[in-house]
Structure 1
C-alpha cells in the first residue's frame, strides 16, 4: 500500500468553509495536500483570501460558481454584471456569448481562481424545472450546444478552467436535486438527441472539467444516481464521449445523494464510479477528516482500487498544471477587459410588448418567489433599485404567495415577477392587479408567461445589468 495514500485522498477532496478568511484547520489541510477549495458568497471572496489559500498550497484548485445572471458568488449583493445563460440564448450570438465568458473568466483570473463551475450545459426541456430555468441557454439542444461551447472557449481563453454541468443533463426534471433525487424519464435515444449534445460540444471545445448531476436516469442506470454510477460516468462519459478531464461531483451534502448514504460513502462510491474530485460545499475539520478516512479505509478494504484513487488525484493535479500554464492568457485577458459587454448583452436580450415611457417614480410591486437553492438567498431582481436610480420617488412593496395588493394611487404601477409561467399564484396576483390597473407594466425576470397586459418586458434573467436594461426601456 502506498505511503502517499492519505495525500491522494486529500487531493480529491474539495471542501467549502465558513468565514471570510481561511480557518486554521483549512490551512493545515492545504499543507497536507488538500486538492481544492470551493468558494461561496458567504466567504466574501477577495484576492487576499485566495492568497491565504495559495500560501499553504500554491497548486490547489480554487473553484467557484460564477455562472452570471442568477448564480453569482462575487456580485451577489449588487447583482451580476452579466445577464446569464437564458438571456444569451435569446440573443443567440455565439460571438457575444464567448465575449461574456471571456470577461467572466477575466474577473476570476484577476482573483487567481482556478476553476469556474460553469456553464450550465443543461437543456431546459421541461418548463416546470425548478432549479435550471434561466440558468440554461434554452430548451433546444443545438442552441444550448453552440452556446455551451462558446462560453467554454471564452472562460478558458481567459486562462481559467470551465466546468460543464450537470451531466448527463438536469433540464428535464421537476425536482431540485438540492432537496430530493430527481428522475429523468427519457429513453437513451432521447438523451442522446437532447441532453448529451451540449456536453459533447463542451468536450470538443476542450472543456477542462465536467460536473456530475445528482440525477437518477433509469435508461442509463436504474439503481444509482449519475454521480454514483460507473455506467454513467466511466462507460458513457469517459468511454463513449471521450472525456478525459477532471470530473467533479455536485455538492455531496445535497439531499439527492445525502438522503441515500453518509458523506464518506457518497465520496467512496463517486470515486469508484469515475469521479476525480469530491465537492463538499460546507465542511468542518472533523467532516473533512471523516471523508479522508472513509476513502483510505475503502482502499484498504478493496472497495476502491488505489489505482482509481491515484488516477483521480492525477486529474486534479493535471487541471492545476493546466491553470499554471495559462499565465500568459490571463495577463492578456486582463489587458483586454471589456467592461461593457454584459450591459450590451442584457439590452439585446430584452423582449418587449407595448410601450412604457415612464416619466415619474412608479410604485413597484415585487411579486416574490423563492429563487432555487443554487441561488444565494441575498439575490434580488434589482428592478426596483434600477428604477429608483433613474426616477426619484420610486416606491416599492413585496408580496409573497399570501400577500395582498396595495391600494393603488395615481402613480404608474410596475409589477415585477419571476418565472410567471411556473407559478399560478403569481399569475393570479398579476390578473388581480391588471383588473385594478389595466395600465400596469409587467417585468418578468425569469421564463415568462405570455404577456397578459399591454406593456410587458422580459429580461430572461436576474442580474444588475438586466434590471438596468429593463429600467432604461421603461423610461424610453
Structure 2
C-alpha cells in the first residue's frame, strides 16, 4: 500500500503540467470534449488534490510546497483562459452596426447553443449557419426545422437578409443528418454504371437530398466532392479526410458526369450545391484537419485532369465553390489556397471568370488554426473569398470574427473586395442557395424520409 502511494505521488509531478496545459488551453478545438462538465471536473480534481496534499502535510517540505503550487495552477489558468474568451466575445458582440453589417455576411458558423447563435443572427454578425449531427442528437428533426425557421424569423424581424443554412450531406460516410434523413449511398457507387444510369441515379440522389434539406430549411448543401479519387492508399494518419472513400472516381469525365447530374437534382429542389475541395485534395496524402499540406502538381497537368470537373460544373450550375486548405505550390507556395489571392483572385475569379460564391473549408482545421489564423482571415477576405466557414467548433467564431474586426479597424481589409463580395452575396436570383432562402422560411410542405 505504501508503495502504491509513493507511485501515485510520483505521478502527480508529470500530471500537474499536463493538466495545467489543458486548463490554459481550455478553448482549443482539440479540447472540445473537456468543455462544460469536463472543465468543472478538472478544476474540482485539482482543488481536491491540493486539499489532500495540504492535509497530509506536504506543505512542510520544499518539494511539497512546489507540488501544491503546481496543482493550484490549473484553476488559475482556466480562469484566465475563460476571462480571455469572455473579453474577446464581448468585443465581438459590442461591434458597431456598421462593422456587423460589413463583416457579418461573410461568416457561416456551426453552433450548439440556439440562444447564442440567435443573438449573432439578430445582430447581423453572421451570414449563415451550419447544422450537423450534434444539432439533432437526442432531438427530433421537427425541433431542428422549427429552430431554423425561428432563426429566419429573427433575421426578418431585424431587417436582415435570410441566413444561408448549410448542411453536409454527401452520401456514403458523410451524411451528418442521416439518419433521420435518408441515408443515400456515396456517389462513388455509381462510377461503374453506364453513363445514362450514372446520370439518372445521381440526379435521383440529388433530388432526395434536395427535397429533404429544403423541407428542413437548409438551402446549401456542402456537396458534391469533385476531388479525383487517389490511386494510392492514404496516409495512416488520415483520420478525417478519407477522400478515397468520398471521391467519385479517378476519371475526371466520370466525376463531371455524375456530379453535374447530382447538382441538377439538388437545384431542382431549390437547394444550392457546393463543389469541393478546390484545388483538389485527391493527390494530397496529408490530413488537413490536423496538418499543413501541399499540392506539388504543375498547373498545366491539373488543368487537364483534377480541375476539369470544377470548371465543367461551375459553367453549368449555380454552385458555390469551396476552397481547401492545401498549398498550391506552383501558384502560391507561401499560403494555403483558401486564403491565397493568386489562387482565388488569379485563377478562380480572373482566369476562369467565376463570379459566384467562394467559401473556405472549415477554418477550425489544423492546417489553418494551428498557424496565424488572423493573417489567414484577412488574406481570405482580401483574396475575394465570400464566406468563411467556422464549423467544427462554433466557439472559435469569436476569435476568428475578432481577427476580421481587428483587420477592419486597422485598415487591413480591402474595401473594394468587401464591396464586390457583398454584391455577390446579395444577388437575389443568381444562386440556388439565395433562391432557396425564401423557401426555407416558409412552412415545410414536403414529407420527410426517416
Do both share a fold (TM > 0.5)?
Answer: yes
State whether residues 68 and 80 of structure 1, in contact with CA within 8 Å, keep that contact through their aligned partners in structure 2: no
SS at match of 2:175: coil
- CA distance in structure 1 between the partners assigned to 2:147 and 2:97 by the alignment: 32
State whether residues 105 and 159 of structure 1, in contact with CA within 8 Å, keep that contact through their aligned partners in structure 2: yes
Equivalent residue number for residue 307 of structure 1: 416
SS at match of 2:358: strand
Equivalent residue number for residue 49 of structure 2: none
The offset of 1:337, in angstroms, is 8.3
Equivalent residue number for residue 156 of structure 1: 267
The offset of 1:28, in angstroms, is 1.2
1:51 aligned to 149, 170, 180, which one?
149
- CA distance in structure 1 between the partners assigned to 2:447 and 2:146 by the alignment: 22
- CA distance in structure 2 between the partners assigned to 1:305 and 1:152 by the alignment: 33
Is 1:63–2:171 an aligned residue pair?
A: no
The offset of 1:62, in angstroms, is 0.6
The offset of 1:79, in angstroms, is 8.5
Instruction: Tell which deviates more after alignment, 299-308 or 61-70.
Output: 299-308
The offset of 1:57, in angstroms, is 1.6
1:107 aligned to 200, 204, 212, which one?
212
Task: Specify which structure has the higher proportion of helix.
Answer: 2
2:388 aligned to 259, 269, 278, which one?
278
- CA distance in structure 1 between the partners assigned to 2:189 and 2:337 by the alignment: 29
Instruction: Tell which deviates more after alignment, 226-235 or 178-187.
Output: 178-187
Give the direction of change, closer, same or farther, for the CA distance of 1:133–1:319 in structure 2 (3 Å limit): farther
State whether residues 181 and 214 of structure 1, in contact with CA within 8 Å, keep that contact through their aligned partners in structure 2: yes
Give the direction of change, closer, same or farther, for the CA distance of 1:79–1:54 in structure 2 (3 Å limit): closer
Is 1:213–2:352 an aligned residue pair?
A: no
Instruction: Tell which deviates more after alignment, 102-111 or 304-313.
Output: 304-313
Q: CA RMSD in A?
A: 2.8
State whether residues 153 and 205 of structure 1, in contact with CA within 8 Å, keep that contact through their aligned partners in structure 2: no
Equivalent residue number for residue 244 of structure 2: 133
Q: Deviations over 1:233-273 (max 9, x none)?
A: 111011112211111110001011112213x3322221112
The offset of 1:124, in angstroms, is 1.3
The offset of 1:194, in angstroms, is 1.2
Task: Provide TM-score, normalisation by structure 1.
Answer: 0.64
Is 1:296–2:399 an aligned residue pair?
A: no
The offset of 1:274, in angstroms, is 1.8
Structure 2 residues without counterparts, runs of 5 or longer: 1-95, 157-161
Runs of 4+ in structure 1 over 6 Å off: 327-331, 334-339
Give the direction of change, closer, same or farther, for the CA distance of 1:310–1:25 in structure 2 (3 Å limit): farther
Pairs within 5 Å for 1:159-174 = 159-174=270-285
The offset of 1:216, in angstroms, is 1.3
Equivalent residue number for residue 32 of structure 1: 123
Task: Provide TM-score, normalisation by structure 2.
Answer: 0.68
Q: Deviations over 1:103-122 (max 9, x none)?
A: 11111011111100000011
The offset of 1:329, in angstroms, is 8.9
Pairs within 5 Å for 1:237-386 = 237-262=348-373, 264-283=374-393, 287-318=396-427, 322=431, 323=433, 325-326=435-436
1:84 aligned to 186, 189, 195, which one?
186
Q: Deviations over 1:67-121 (max 9, x none)?
A: 1111011115x79521112112232511221121121111101111110000001
State whether residues 181 and 212 of structure 2, in contact with CA within 8 Å, keep that contact through their aligned partners in structure 1: no
Equivalent residue number for residue 404 of structure 1: none
State whether residues 172 and 184 of structure 1, in contact with CA within 8 Å, keep that contact through their aligned partners in structure 2: yes
Structure 1 residues without counterparts, runs of 5 or longer: 340-463, 465-476
- CA distance in structure 2 between the partners assigned to 1:279 and 1:140 by the alignment: 29
Which has the higher Rg, Structure 1 or Structure 2? Answer: 2
The offset of 1:184, in angstroms, is 1.6
User: How many equivalent residue pairs?
Assistant: 331
Is 1:120–2:120 an aligned residue pair?
A: no
Q: Deviations over 1:14-42 (max 9, x none)?
A: 111125xx1x2211110111201111101
State whether residues 214 and 439 of structure 2, in contact with CA within 8 Å, keep that contact through their aligned partners in structure 1: no
SS at match of 1:279: strand
Instruction: Tell which deviates more after alignment, 313-322 or 241-250.
Output: 313-322
Instruction: Tell which deviates more after alignment, 89-98 or 223-232.
Output: 89-98
Equivalent residue number for residue 454 of structure 1: none
- CA distance in structure 2 between the partners assigned to 1:133 and 1:291 by the alignment: 31
